Amino acid sequence: MSAPKKLFIKTYGCQMNVYDSERMAEALGGNGYVETKTPEDADMILLNTCHIREKAAEKVYSELGRMKPLKDINPNLKIGIAGCVAQAEGEEIMRRAPVVDLVVGPQSYHRLPAMDDAVQTGAKALDTDFPDDDKFETLKARSKAKRGPTAFLTVQEGCDKFCAFCVVPYTRGAEVSRPADRIIREAQELVESGVREITLLGQNVNAYHGHDGGLAGLIWELDKVDGLERIRFTTSHPNDMDDALIDAHGTCEKLMPYLHLPVQSGSNRILKAMNRKHTAEGYLRLIERIRAARPDLLLSGDFIVGFPGETDQDFEDTMQLVRDVHYGQAYSFKYSTRPGTPAAEKPQLPEDVMNDRLQRLQGLLREQQIATQASMVGRDVKVLFEKAGREAGQMIGKSEYLHAVFAEAPADVIGTVRRVRIIDDATNSLKGELLSQ
């Protein structure tokens, strides 16, 4: 019996890419591959790429340059590019980087086994189609091997919003929702393998329409899955937060009190230029409604500073919105051009202006995050323990608010939800003590 081939996957970007990488590994498992932690051991290397941030393609070429010597050592090594950069620049990658054997877009990775068969004969393989066949149904069932207590589960892909700064509609395609029964089946398989918390993923996850009741309907179906203790979802659009989903935050015990709801800017003028189709006032009213349903909800957001045409007053409007909302966590970035998007054709702001605004915004967001974590001291939370910490006897997990929490505890707490009292806060985590149940 021949030894298994080894697969190394490097994942860039969002949680959806993490999920996609897992499914790619499962797909290639049918061709005799097992995963390895180091590219030096690999018979195939896959770079699962993200096209959201600046110079994404150049980073891929730099990585390929570092990996080329591995192919000189092992001529049988195959190198593939997957994900959104592959979708956007597939033919250019093939032309510019002869070291690459295969390029596959995010909607075609269920075809990896056939592509692998082709490259093993010395051919090149390129597939950046938006195929009609359902990749999730084509892939074999999720592995029943023992898993950690948390998992991602993609329920929706693509985007119809066409924000002026974003490439997702071009690299992931139109919004598509998976049928609810298939998601429930996959969730049950995950729970059977040891998962206790599932995060539902989508580019616009709350635009999910694979259930008559939308995302809220799907959540209530998942609420019935025995052994599943926690449900989360990301990433959301303000325009798709309907009444049923807001109500679910207040009534579904398994739905955690954490919501990532990007606004991008506090300026109505900039929001219009971004084609966001909501206003700052509408966003604030929405937050009020959600917090009325779930007062202890921790809110997270996304912000872009330095969008073309942003004035000092536009930026101050963003700062004021942040003050009004008070985020427990947030992500903020300088605007960077994405070729092919409408905003890329507009005059760009000076780099020093963008840098200054980003530092000021991040300073305010950091203050809010620190204050939120400090407010947790003395409170009791429920922690799903996931792994052992660096120190002996220390275990680490996540609270219902997605805070990282560490506490002294026996190893058998891993995979269970336990009550913990927070006794101290650190920069990016909380210290707690395990309470008797």
- The pLDDT value given to residue 436: 82
Query: Tens digit of pLDDT per residue, the chain (437 long)?
Result: 567 899 999 998 778 888 889 889 988 988 899 999 999 999 999 999 887 666 677 888 888 999 999 998 999 999 999 988 888 888 889 999 999 999 998 888 888 999 999 999 999 999 887 765 566 666 655 565 678 999 999 999 989 999 999 988 888 888 999 999 999 999 999 999 999 999 999 999 999 999 999 999 999 999 999 999 999 999 999 999 999 999 999 999 999 999 999 999 999 999 999 999 999 999 999 999 999 999 999 999 999 999 999 999 999 999 999 999 999 999 999 998 887 899 988 999 999 999 999 999 999 999 999 999 999 999 999 999 999 988 899 999 999 999 999 999 999 999 999 999 999 998 789 999 999 86
Query: How many domains would you assign to the chain?
Result: 4
* Tokens standing for residue 10: 């490097």
Select from 7, 174, 13 the least CA-distant residue to 84.
13
Q: What is the largest CA-CA distance in the chain?
A: 69
Shared domain for 94 and 155, answered yes or no, is no
Q: Which residue, of 256, 281, 299, is where some domain finishes?
A: 256
Residue 297 is given by DSSP the state -
Length of the chain: 437
84 labeled part of a ligand binding site: yes
The DSSP annotation for 333-389 comes to EE----TTSGGGGSPPPPHHHHHHHHHHHHHHHHHHHHHHHHHTTT-EEEEEEEEE-
Shared domain for 179 and 209, answered yes or no, is yes
Contact 202/155 with Cβ under 8 angstroms? yes
266 lies in a domain? no
- The pLDDT value given to residue 128: 83
192 lies in a domain? yes
Shared domain for 27 and 120, answered yes or no, is yes
50 labeled part of a ligand binding site: yes
- SS3 sequence of 248-268: HHHHCCCECCEEECCCECCCH
159 labeled part of a ligand binding site: yes
252 labeled part of a ligand binding site: no
Q: Is the pTM of this model over 0.95?
A: no
Judge if the upstream peptide bond of residue 235 is cis by omega within 30 degrees of 0: yes
Select from 215, 295, 217 the least CA-distant residue to 250.
295
Place of tokens 């930026």: 315
- The pLDDT value given to residue 426: 85
Range of the domain at 322: 291-375
- The pLDDT value given to residue 200: 97
Q: Which residue, of 99, 127, 155, is where some domain finishes?
A: 127
Q: What letters, b where the CB count within 10 A reaches 16 and e where it falls short, cover 174-186?
A: ebbbbebeebbeb
Dihedral, CA atoms, 212, 218, 221, 226, nearest 10 degrees? 160
Shared domain for 16 and 74, answered yes or no, is yes
166 labeled part of a ligand binding site: yes
Provide the CATH number for the domain around residue 65. 3.40.50.12160
- The pLDDT value given to residue 278: 97
